[in-house]
Each structure stands twice: as C-alpha cells, then as structure tokens.
C-alpha cells in the first residue's frame, strides 16, 4: 500500500482528502499541530472509511522534529502539504508568524524530502496569488499581483521556493490553486470547523442560520457585478479532495509533463454573495438574516477559474453544484449542533 503524508490532515480540506485517499487504497499518515483543528476528526474519518489514519501531533515549523519524522518515514510515496495559517486578516496582525509558519514548514518538509529521497509533493496554493486578475476567467499563466496581505504573499513565496526546488533538487511538484472551497462530506461527519468567529462566507451563513450568529454582514453591494456583490468561484470540498488523489496518482504513475505543474481548481463558474445566500435559503428552507455593510479591505471584486488545464491534463472536473455545496454545509452545521 502506498503511504502518503497529509500535513494539516485534521483540517477542513486535509480531512476530506485523507478520506478520499483511503477510499482509493492509500495509507495515510497525518501530521498536524491541532492549532486550528480537533483530534476528534480522526475518529470521524475512521467512521467514514473504516480506517483511522496514523497521526503524529507536532509543528512542522520545528526543524529537528520534522527531520526526525522524515527519517522515520523515508518510505513515503508522496506528500500533500496543507498545513498552513490561512486567514488574510489575521496575517495583517501577525505577519512574522505567518511568514515563519508557512514558509518555514515548507522548507523543513523539502529538507526532509531531499535527505530521504522522497520526490513528490502536492502543494496547497490559492487563487489569492492572482489578486484581481486583468482577464477572467483566470488562467494559470496569469501573473502574480502584488499581494495584499502577508498570507497571500506566503502562498506566492512558497510557490517560488517550490519552483526553484523543483529545478535544483530531486523534487517534483504539483501546486494546486484553490478557488473558494466550501461544503462538507455527505456523511456530515467531517466539515469546516472554524474556531471562533468565522472569516469565510459559508460558515458565517450556516452559523447565522442555526442561531450562533445574529446576522451575516454582506461586504459591499457596489461592486461592478450584476447585483453589486462580489463574485467568487465556489468549489465543493469533496471535488477538491478528489483532485488531490488524481494529482498524487499522476506523480506516482510518472505522468507529469514538467517538474513543477500548476493547476487551478474551481468550477469555472462565478457566483455573487447574494446568489450564494439565495442558494442557501433555497436548499435549507431557512430565511437568512443579513445586512449590507461596507466592503472588506483586501477583497477583490470578482475572480473565477479557467479550469481547462485541470480538466484536460488531470482529467478532473468539479461536478457538484452550488446547491449541493450549500446543502452539505447546512447538513454539517446541523450535525454539529446535535453533537454539542
């Protein structure tokens, strides 16, 4: 059985990817420091797949500890690196923590790969590297725009580190640029678990609907879009997780066309904030309490993916609709409420 390291595997996207990997016959080892996730996720992965993944709790920014891990796991067939801080707003208050954590952990992992002959890494990148693109839908060869936040900058820097590493070391990379991952596993056993007040739209919507929050603030309705609210390309987290399995298989089966490949992962469809709210109301039957407030600093007006490269090269396509995304997110929020 091929063994894959999933860093950040108890987090939102990592946990869904661990499930899909196990269901495709891979052995999964999770490393997570639990800074933004719960150890209970492992039990829920086991409920879905029948197998509890191996788990080690430590901080990948710790160089000596990470080196020890790689010595013990030199038989890894590949790595999917999710573990990172990801809140743009928070990174404005803690810039150095973001730089140290996000770039430091990547460097430690690359050292572990170099020193133990592990070749393949899939990296979690983000459409944030594009900023507000000049052309939509945005293709992978669109240039990086100056980052608005240290968080976004760490994704750009990490891609640069990976580019040179792939040229100068025996390392091969697939960087996946996610658009807006939302939704939850159909079992409602795993999903997004924001600690404290959510920054992202969909957990804020479901928490408002269930009564944990009073009212959703819609950030701006004077954008140059059909209804004035900002447009994003929302993608179901299970579709996203499946793309990671395909990326790992592509590497193992020697299908990569260069030492570093980059793919957009989105649906290729953009929806406004109001369309997301309407979809939620439609599938849940709940009327959402919301108000329009001013724009959030750092938000781009509109972005959606050109997904042709992923469709053609990976043979992957997101298949789940916005309504399915919102229904699964709502079922997850309701399941959480029952558990608490």
- Least distance CB 232 / ligand UD1 (angstroms): 5
Tokens, residue 75? 């038989």
**Cα–Cα distance between 292 and 123 in angstroms, integer?**
36
Please state, in angstroms and as integers, the Cα–Cα distance from residue 278 to each residue in 50, 196, 204, 290, following that order: 36, 25, 14, 11
- Closest to ligand UD1 by CB, 78 vs 266, is 266
**Among the candidate windows 93-101, 115-123, 186-194, 210-218, which touches ligand UD1 by CB under 6 A?**
210-218
**Cα–Cα distance between 91 and 97 in angstroms, integer?**
8
**Among the candidate windows 36-44, 81-89, 115-123, 309-317, which touches ligand UD1 by CB under 6 A?**
81-89
- Least distance CB 218 / ligand UD1 (angstroms): 4
**Among the candidate windows 3-11, 111-119, 195-203, 320-328, which touches ligand UD1 by CB under 6 A?**
195-203
**Cα–Cα distance between 244 and 250 in angstroms, integer?**
10
- Least distance CB 157 / ligand UD1 (angstroms): 14
**Cα–Cα distance between 178 and 265 in angstroms, integer?**
5
Given 2, 219, 313, 317, the residue binding ligand UD1 (CB under 6 A): 219
Q: Does 200 bind ligand UD1 (CB under 6 A)?
A: yes
Which neighbouring-strand residues pair with 120? 172
**Cα–Cα distance between 255 and 250 in angstroms, integer?**
5
**Among the candidate windows 53-61, 85-93, 156-164, 254-262, which touches ligand UD1 by CB under 6 A?**
85-93
Given 108, 126, 142, 307, the residue binding ligand UD1 (CB under 6 A): 126
Given 230, 274, 322, 327, the residue binding ligand UD1 (CB under 6 A): 230
Of the listed 85, 151, 204, 223, which one is catalytic?
151
Q: Are 22 and 49 in contact (CB under 8 A)?
A: yes
- Closest to ligand UD1 by CB, 118 vs 326, is 326
151 is catalytic: yes
Q: Does 86 bind ligand UD1 (CB under 6 A)?
A: yes
> How many residues contact ligand UD1, by CB under 6 A?
22
- Closest to ligand UD1 by CB, 112 vs 266, is 266
With helix as H, strand as E and coil as C, how does 152-207 read?
A: HHHHHHHHHHHHHHHHHCCCEEEEEEECEEECCCCCCCCCCCCCCCCCCHHHHHHH
Given 128, 156, 165, 225, the residue binding ligand UD1 (CB under 6 A): 128
Q: Between 3 and 42, how does the x/- string for binding to ligand UD1 read (CB under 6 A)?
A: ----------------------------------------
Q: Does 270 bind ligand UD1 (CB under 6 A)?
A: no
What is the β-pairing status of strands 231-232 and 271-272?
antiparallel
The whole-angstrom distance between residue 337's C-alpha and the CA centroid of its chain comes to 24
**Cα–Cα distance between 206 and 73 in angstroms, integer?**
40
**Cα–Cα distance between 149 and 147 in angstroms, integer?**
6
Q: Does 232 bind ligand UD1 (CB under 6 A)?
A: yes
With helix as H, strand as E and coil as C, how does 294-317 read?
A: CCCCCCCCECCECCHHHHHHHCCC
Instruction: Report the SS3 class of residue 111.
Output: helix
Q: Does 158 bind ligand UD1 (CB under 6 A)?
A: no
DSSP of 222-279, one letter per residue? -SSSTTSS-EE-EEEHHHHHHHHHHHHHHHHTT--SSSEEEEEES-S--EEHHHHHHH
- Closest to ligand UD1 by CB, 86 vs 172, is 86
Q: Does 123 bind ligand UD1 (CB under 6 A)?
A: no
Residues in touch with ligand UD1 (CB under 6 A)? 86, 88-89, 126, 128, 151-152, 180, 199-201, 204, 216-219, 230, 232, 273, 296, 298-299
Active site residues: 151
């Amino acid at each position: 059985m091929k063994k894959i390291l999933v860093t950040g595997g108890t987090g939102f996207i990592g946990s869904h990817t661990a499930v899909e990997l196990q269901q495709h016959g891979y052995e999964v080892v999770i490393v997570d420091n639990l800074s933004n996730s719960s150890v209970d996720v492992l039990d829920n992965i086991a409920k879905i797949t029948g197998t509890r993944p191996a788990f080690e709790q430590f901080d990948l920014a710790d160089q000596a500890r990470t080196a020890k891990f790689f010595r013990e796991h030199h038989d890894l067939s590949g790595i999917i690196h999710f573990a990172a801080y990801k809140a743009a707003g928070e990174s404005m208050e803690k810039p150095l923590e973001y730089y140290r954590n996000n770039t430091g952990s990547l460097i430690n992992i690359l050292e572990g790969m170099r020193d133990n002959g592990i070749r393949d890494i899939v990296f979690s990148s983000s459409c944030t590297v594009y900023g507000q693109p000049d052309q939509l839908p945005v293709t992978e060869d669109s240039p990086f725009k100056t980052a608005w936040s240290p968080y976004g900058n760490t994704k750009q820097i990490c891609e640069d580190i990976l580019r040179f590493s792939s040229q100068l070391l025996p390392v091969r990379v697939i960087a996946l640029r996610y658009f807006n991952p939302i939704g939850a596993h159909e079992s409602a056993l795993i999903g997004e678990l924001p600690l404290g007040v959510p920054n992202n739209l969909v957990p804020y919507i479901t928490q408002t609907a269930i009564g944990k929050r009073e009212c959703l603030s819609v950030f701006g309705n004077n954008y140059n879009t059909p209804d004035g609210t900002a447009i994003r390309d929302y993608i179901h987290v299970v579709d996203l997780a499946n793309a990671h399995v395909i990326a790992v298989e592509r590497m193992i089966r020697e299908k990569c066309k260069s030492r570093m490949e980059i793919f957009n992962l989105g649906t290729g469809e953009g929806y406004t904030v109001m369309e997301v709210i309407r979809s939620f109301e439609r599938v849940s039957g709940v009327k959402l309490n919301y108000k329009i407030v001013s724009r959030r600093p750092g938000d781009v007006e509109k972005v959606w993916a050109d997904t042709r490269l992923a469709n053609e090269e990976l043979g992957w396509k997101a298949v789940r609709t916005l309504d399915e995304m919102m229904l699964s997110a709502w079922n997850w929020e309701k399941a959480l409420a029952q558990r608490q």
